Structures are given as structure tokens and as C-alpha cells.
Amino acid sequence: MAKPAKKLDRRSLIQLAGVSVVGLAAATILRNSRSVGENVGDNATVREIRADNQSPRKLVAGADVTIVSFNDFNCTACRKAHPALQQAVEEDGRCNMVYRDWPIFGPASERAGRIALASDYQGIYPAVYDILMRRAGLSDRQLRMAVEQSGGTWDRLLRDLKTHHKDIESQLDTNSLQAFALNLKGTPAFLIGPILVRGAVSSRDFAKVISVARDANSL
């Protein structure tokens, strides 16, 4: 016959609570000490990505860190990461942004990626990107609203989409090849200096990586 469970006295409960607190603290320290990204160095793939000047970009005077963003407008994690990265970039003030559209979530993603790249011929890609990342849904109505709210015209975009079709498709193919060369499994991913961050992280973590990348660039 099983013995009844022994009740814990007050001293034992306090000791157990203390062990729990220590365990939680240790777990927090371990979690916070994990590296946010991976230092991929200066290999041929990284150099090729940095040398590619065809992708849309947002340049800042005096910038000393470049962030290459691999994204999909139909990606929930991308939309989650966007405001965090934007906050870190705005607070830092010395980061260039380079955008690599990598539509991997089907036809809607592909359509949005082409529309976004076509918007760059009107010089409005960063604004279109920001709007699409902040709103769910990629219908033609929503894409048109993003273009027009960014100061572009839809008719001009449709013309550019047709006129520059080969260049846009070539850019999407290049983005995909570069993503696979970096061994990316999905979006989002961010090459910040030599540091590769996979997935969505907080603005604080983005700021930490930017700082590490800046230190690496100064070596």
C-alpha cells in the first residue's frame, strides 16, 4: 500500500521556491547570452551579395553598416520583424538598407514581389515596402493603394512591370540563388555586416547586431 505524500513544511517550501527562482534566473541568463546571429565572415557569397547593386535600397549619409533584408510580403514573421528592425535602424541612424525580395509563399507573394520591384522605377520602393509590411493582404487593390499612397501611379507601375519584366525576373532569380547560397531556410533573414540573422528578433537584438557589425567593420 502506497504511503500518503508527505506535506512540505514552511522551510522546505521556501527552499524549493529559492531553487525555482535560481533556475529561472539561470535560464534567463542562458537565453540572453545566446548569439542572435551567425558571423558568416567575408566569403564569396557575402561579397557577391554586397557587390549586387541592382536591388532596391535606402541609403543614409554617413552610414557604416549595410543591412540586406531577404523578405516575403506574405510572410507573417517578416511583418513581425519589420517594425522592430525599423526602430533599431532609425534609432541608430547610420545604416543602409538593401532589399532582396524572395517570394516563397506562392503566387500572391510573387505578384507582390514583382509589383514592389516595379515600384523602384518610380523611386518609391522603401515606402511601398513599409506599407505592405504593416498590412496583411496582397490583393491588387491593396497593392495599388500601397503604390499610390507612396506617391506613385498605378498606370506607370503597370507599364514598368511590362517594360522591365526581364530585369525584374532576373532580380528575383538572383535573390533566390543568393538566399540558397546563404543556406537560408525561409524568410525573414538579415545580413547585417558579416552577421546573418535568421527570423524575427526584437529591436534590442537588432541594435546589438548592428553594434557588433559596426565593430567588425572597423577591424
Three-state SS string over 47-102 comes to HHHHHCCCCCEECCCCCCEEEEEEECCCCHHHHHHHHHHHHHHHHHCCEEEEEEEC
The DSSP symbol for 37 reads S
Task: Give the three-state DSSP class for 40.
Answer: coil
Please name the fold of domain 38-218: Glutaredoxin (3.40.30)
Share of the chain above pLDDT 70, in %: 84
* Whole-prediction pTM: 0.82
Residue spans per domain, the chain: 38-218
Asked if 70 and 100 touch (Cβ cutoff 8 Å), the reply is: yes
pLDDT tens for each residue of 45-59: 999 998 888 999 999
Measured in whole angstroms, the distance separating CA 151 from the mean position of its chain's CA atoms is 24
pLDDT of residue 9: 52
The mean predicted confidence, pLDDT, of the chain is 87
Spatial distance between the Cα atoms of 33 and 27, rounded to a whole number of angstroms: 10
pLDDT of residue 214: 95
pLDDT surpasses 60 at 4: no
Between 76-92 and 203-218, two packed helices, what is the crossing angle to 10 degrees?
A: 60
Spatial distance between the Cα atoms of 120 and 197, rounded to a whole number of angstroms: 25
pLDDT tens for each residue of 103-131: 999 999 999 999 999 999 999 999 999 99
Provide the pairing of β-strand 65-71 with 95-101.
parallel
Asked if 207 and 138 touch (Cβ cutoff 8 Å), the reply is: no
Provide the pairing of β-strand 189-192 with 195-198.
antiparallel
pLDDT of residue 174: 96
